[in-house]
Amino acid sequence: MANLIRETAGGMRALTTEDILFSNREIFLTDSVDSATSTELIKQLMVLEKLDPEKEITFYINSPGGEVVSGLAVYDYIQIMKAPVRTVCIGTAASMGAILFLAGEKREMLPHTRLMIHDPAYGGGDMAGKKPHELQQYVDKLRQTQEIAAKLIAEKTGKTLEEICEKTREDSWFNAEEAIEYGLATGIVDKTNVEFPDF
């Protein structure tokens, strides 16, 4: 882990990469979405909002997706925050990673990154020995999750639910230009609009 030595009032201090970026209101999701990563993200968002509820937070995403409930918890928290959140795709934002990307007011992508949206899939587990009504309950929950995700995507893109459901039947991939055209992203990060932090 890289460190930067900085002189402070209390003497020389070694700062990690994460310390430096966090002090510039930049947070990252570079793994699957689960209870641990979502809890850590929410804690970071809480701290940054308390420090300054008006100043923008940049949330960088490179994630294959993950648990729906954990991801929606982060999405919901971002929606109730006063501080504006800008999301930036820095690799691949797929499945729940794409939903979290949509949480931002400004949603930007690096030029060669990509997004993927699709219907929620069976999360594993042994279905052997399950009774018909138990299987139906699982299918019903899966459909509820599908409706929630489709509504979120429709709200952000301006598409109809029917259009979204048709698009998410299969894995639908978008490059930066395609994501902007579809309404998933709002811009592309390049050297004309990037702002480098002041360390």
d(CA 195, CA 93): 22
For 45, list phi and psi in degrees, rounded to 5. Answer: -65, -40
- Per-residue pLDDT, 189: 95
Supply the pLDDT for residue 123: 59
What's the confidence (pLDDT) of residue 187?
97
pLDDT in tens, the chain (199 residues): 556 666 666 677 777 888 889 999 999 999 999 999 999 999 999 999 999 999 999 999 999 999 999 999 999 999 999 999 999 999 999 999 999 999 999 999 999 999 999 988 755 556 656 777 777 776 778 788 899 999 999 999 999 999 999 999 999 999 999 999 999 999 999 887 766 555 5
Please tell me the predicted confidence (pLDDT) of residue 133: 73
CB atoms within 10 A of CB 150: 22
What pLDDT sits at residue 4? 64
The three-class DSSP label of residue 55 is coil
- Taken in order of first residue, the domains within the chain and their CATH numbers are 3-188 (3.90.226.10)
On average, the pLDDT of the chain sits at: 89
CA 72 to chain CA centroid, Å, is 10
133-152 pLDDT, tens digit each: 777 776 778 788 899 999 99
For residue 193, what pLDDT is reported?
Answer: 72
pTM reported for the whole predicted model: 0.87
Active site residues: 95, 118
Tens-place pLDDT, residues 72-92: 999 999 999 999 999 999 999
Give the C-alpha separation, 15 to 5, whole Å. Answer: 6
